[in-house]
Structure 1
Amino acid sequence: MKNLVLVLVSLLLTSCAALEQNYKNTCASYDWEAMGSRDALAGESMQSSVLSQCMQHGIPATRTAYDQGYARGLMQFCTYEYGIYWGREGKDYENTCTPSVANNFLAGYSKGKMEYQRLQVAKAQVVAIQRASGQSCTFDSDCEIKIECKMSSSAPYSRQCAGNGKTCNFDSDCTLPGSCSFNTCTNR
């Protein structure tokens, strides 16, 4: 029994040493500068999960190279143009830009996000029209497409129809007319 315990302890220690060596080899093989740049361009905070894991195991990761890559990535990320791209993709912004360049990024992000939201509403309208087309009806009003009248994100205290930007006061101001022909909706 004593020998069995010694064998098991020996196997456990050998496994731990092999695992530690595997971490060392893996962490040493990373291009830390490229990883830092990728994290910044992905809008992530400065601390990479891989970097954290390597540091937790006492493996000296090249933090300086990661930081340099992250700074280089942020210079690309925190621009007006990248803000437009990020917003158009519908991605959330995690306050990764420094205050000195955040306003420039946010101006682009706001523009891109509005374009993204308009596109999402337009897609929803197309789906609604496709669903309404072909449904049975008695009157043209049975085929109307209802669109929401919302507060404007660009002009305070102003309301606009979702998607087309038309000024409205009530949801009924945003309704798209339909047509009932031979008891079937044929939306225009």
Structure 2
Amino acid sequence: MTIKSLTITLILCSTVSACSVMNEQECQAANWSALGYVDGSQGASANQFNERSSACSEYKVHANFNQYQASYQQGLITYCTESHGFFVGSNGNSYLGVCPQSTSALFLRGYHKGQQLFTLKNKVTQAEQALQNEQYDSEYQQQRLTKLKNSIIYDKLTARERQQKLEKIEEINQQPNLIKKKKAQLNRLKKELAKLELVQRD
């Protein structure tokens, strides 16, 4: 199993841990050096070898720790950079604390910047969805408003029923203000995002 094929396999998995349990065919064909490098370059936990070894022991396949560990450390060199930290954070992925002390500070600097970007992008998405929902609801409520007004004019209502309908009319009439606030919030978040992206590019 080559490093290239292993990398493609891991990309197809949603998480590194999802690919940690190896089947018999994978164990028989395992290149422990290649596995170690790919796991390290993907930021997999240091316990990844134990999980692989345990799975392969069921098929009487002995895992080579020395080959795996040497390449795992080489893979970490690729993973533990500031730019890769930013990539991990900006995609909302978790960091498992695998970087050695000599490179962890740089990785975390990029990772925290990436997390800021990821969080702000999520806020923009949520604000867009909230505004869209409010606009859809406003169209429905405008139709309801006509019915409420007609009910007050033509229906025989108790004082309590009339008051409830008036309160609902007032609530509907306030909806444009709510939409305006949500638009302002969305615009503010978009400006923050554009500013953050500009700063991080510099």
TM tier, smaller: 0.5 to 0.7
1:101-138: CA deviation from partner (whole Å, max 9, x where unpaired) = 10010000011110000100000011011111131341
**Offset at residue 58 of structure 1 (A):** 6.1
Distance 1:131 1:89 in 2: 26
2:182 is aligned, of 137, 145, 154, to: 145
Please list every run of 5 or more consecutive structure 1 residues that lacks an aligned counterpart in the other structure.
Answer: 1-21, 149-160, 167-188
The aligned amino acid for 2:80 is C
CA contact (8 A) 2:82 2:110 kept: yes
1:62 is aligned, of 44, 61, 64, to: 64
CA contact (8 A) 1:121 1:163 kept: no
**Where does residue 144 of structure 2 map in the other structure?**
none
1:83 is aligned, of 82, 85, 91, to: 85
* RMSD of Structure 2 on Structure 1 (CA): 2.9
**Offset at residue 63 of structure 1 (A):** 1.6
Matched, 1:118 2:120: yes
Aligned positions of 1:36-185 closer than 5 A: 36-48=36-48, 49-55=51-57, 59-134=61-136, 135=138, 136=141, 137-139=172-174, 140-143=176-179, 144-145=181-182, 165=192
Distance 1:147 1:114 in 2: 21
Cα distance change, pair 41–120 in 1 and its aligned pair in 2 (3 A): same
Distance 1:89 1:68 in 2: 28
1:55-108: CA deviation from partner (whole Å, max 9, x where unpaired) = 577643222221122112101110001000000110111101011110010000
The aligned amino acid for 1:36 is G
TM-score for the superposition, normalised by structure 1: 0.59
Distance 1:95 1:147 in 2: 39
**What is the number of equivalent residue pairs in this alignment?**
132
Distance 1:120 1:26 in 2: 38
**Where does residue 156 of structure 1 map in the other structure?**
none
Distance 1:56 1:102 in 2: 35
Distance 1:147 1:40 in 2: 44
Distance 1:92 1:162 in 2: 24
Higher strand share: 1
TM-score for the superposition, normalised by structure 2: 0.56
Distance 2:183 2:110 in 1: 31
Q: Which moved more, 1:49-58 or 1:34-43?
A: 49-58
**Where does residue 27 of structure 1 map in the other structure?**
27
CA contact (8 A) 1:90 1:113 kept: yes
Higher helix share: 2
CA contact (8 A) 1:28 1:61 kept: no
Percent identical pairs in the alignment equals 24
Please list every run of 5 or more consecutive structure 2 residues that lacks an aligned counterpart in the other structure.
Answer: 1-22, 142-171, 194-202
Distance 1:147 1:95 in 2: 39
